[in-house]
A and B are shown apart, each in its own frame.
Chain A
Amino acid sequence: NAGVTQTPKFRVLKTGQSMTLLCAQDMNHEYMYWYRQDPGMGLRLIHYSVGEGTTAKGEVPDGYNVSRLKKQNFLLGLESAAPSQTSVYFCASRNYEQYFGPGTRLTVT
């Protein structure tokens, strides 16, 4: 039982490049979330999903897209990366309490 996993763990992008972050959970949770964490800001919600095939915007959705084609996977896409998207990205899933993945450290130069 791996819980919540995220790939990749680290990534460096150049401005304008695109990438997809993958989150996978094996706990059969309905709800999944993508957050970013920046120094002094706490975790902020980017997008979330309440079930397979659904997505919704969170607090800071601009510049990101998401998809939930399978219940166990939640993908976060950056179409054209910007330096302001340099951050640590955490995925979480839940029925009641949230369980987090180990994070992806993304640097955009």
Chain B
Amino acid sequence: RKEVEQDPGPFNVPEGATVAFNCTYSNSASQSFFWYRQDCRKEPKLLMSVYSSGNEDGRFTAQLNRASQYISLLIRDSKLSDSATYLCVVKVGNQFYFGTGTSLTVIP
């Protein structure tokens, strides 16, 4: 069983739409959680950490449900520049486990 599973998409949404991505993790000892963004042929870049109480950064909201081992990312008012692959990342000990990513294309 994979450590982290994501719906690969693709998600194609119009500008201004709200879109949500989900991620599940298998290891209950997971300590920290992150969302990264990866543009085509580029390195992953940190979008936001995910805290137990949920957290928001502008148009982006992340939620964590430890009981269900589930992480989500909500993007409001989508922009063309949000088009990318979004990676769910889980930290266990000193190791990080990545989902395969969810592809988002925002359409004009």
Contacts and interface: CB of A to CB of B under 8 A. Distances in A.
A30 B97 CA distance: 19
B101 A42 contact: yes
A89 to B, nearest CB: 11
A33 B87 contact: no
Contact of B99 (A42, A98, A99, A102): A42
A48 B95 contact: yes
A43 B98 contact: yes
Interface size class of B (residues with CB under 8 A): 10 to 19
A56 interface: yes
Contacts of A35: 98
B66 interface: no
B43 A50 contact: no
A43 B94 contact: no
Given A40-B100, A42-B87, A100 B44 contact: yes
The secondary-structure label for the interface of chain B is strand
The secondary-structure label for the interface of chain A is strand
A54 to B, nearest CB: 10
Interface string A89-109: 010000011111111000000
Interface size class of A (residues with CB under 8 A): 20 to 34
Contacts of B44: 43, 90, 100
A42 B100 CA distance: 4
Interface of A: 31, 33, 35, 40-45, 48, 50, 56, 58-59, 90, 96-103
Given A90-B43, A97-B34, A99-B46, 13 more contacts: A42-B4, A42-B87, A42-B100, A42-B101, A43-B87, A45-B97, A56-B94, A96-B49, A97-B46, A97-B49, A98-B34, A100-B43, A100-B45
